[in-house]
Amino acid sequence: MPTAAGLAPVVNAYTIRAGPTKTIAVPNASALAALQDVTVTGNLLKKQVIALDSIAGRRQVSLGARRGTYGIETDGDLHFCLGVRPLQPHITCELQNAKAWLATFQSAVGQPISVAGFFRCLFEHPGFDSNDDAHIFEVHPVRAVTLGGQILTSNVDIPEQRSIHTWTSPHPLNDQDGRIRVGYDPGKDTWTFTNMDGKDENYVRVAGLISNVNLNVGGGAPATFTLTSPDVGHPIRTICLQGTTAARQLRQLASTSVSMVALRNIDLRQALANQYVINLLAIDIQPGG
């Protein structure tokens, strides 16, 4: 089981170069690519944010806008900080539809916590902008936490509607995805990503046809399928975590035509093969396009 003491330095080891071509260099690539469903132990820290100096490569950690008090984000999620000590780089964790959890987390700051969820990579807040909470890795969505000896479980739910975008609006995602390149250096075990905008979309709604369904019923591995959408323009691998609404919906589908809410995610195993590929984590799958 990973610990925050071991994982936090690894996920915060990447460096950025602002330009003229934006670049992100990520060491420890093979270890990061092996992570998917994770359980990480550590301490629940106050709400803190990380600023990344792209020239010096240093991180500065400070308390959040509410002086370290947790709040709910505009998408309905709770972003909390898993780490070892205050004001040291942490692991960002996101709990969906978390209003009912807020008081619990506010009262548990400083306590040991165990977090189980999906290990995700995306260049949404890498640190190029001064207001970024600089990170490219996170546990999102969180499936369960253990606080004070109690296990609290959470479904993978649909976020607030205003936070769900499409593949073409407000930004044509294929444009950025098509520009980004990744090179893997096996000797240094390092990825170098280039040409990103420094922003990305989190939740998306896409419609299309599914194929190559593998339910993995009875196993712990996620269910998977291929989505072909006219908006995306190429087949895209989709993951359904077992025990979630999306996995149950997939088993019950009577049609290959779907409309789906999902999270974008960089496929780190493909990045080891020098391929920048986005896959999806399904949150809600409805029949029909």
Amino acid code (one letter) for 7:
L
For 45-92, what is each residue's pLDDT tens digit?
999 999 998 887 789 999 977 788 999 988 888 999 999 999 999 999
**Category of 141 on φ-ψ map: left (φ > 0), alpha (ψ -120 to 50) or beta:** beta
Distance CA 253, CA 286 (A): 8
End-to-end Cα distance, the chain: 40
What pLDDT is recorded for position 131?
86
Residue 200 near residue 124, CB atoms below 8 Å: yes
Each domain of the chain, given as residue ranges in start order, spans: 4-153
What pLDDT is recorded for position 10?
97
Distance CA 71, CA 69 (A): 7
For 224-237, what is each residue's pLDDT tens digit?
999 999 999 999 99
| Domain 4-153, CATH homologous superfamily name and number | Nucleic acid-binding proteins (2.40.50.140)
Residue 154 near residue 96, CB atoms below 8 Å: yes
Mean pLDDT of 161-173: 91
Question: In terms of pTM, does the model score above 0.85?
Answer: yes
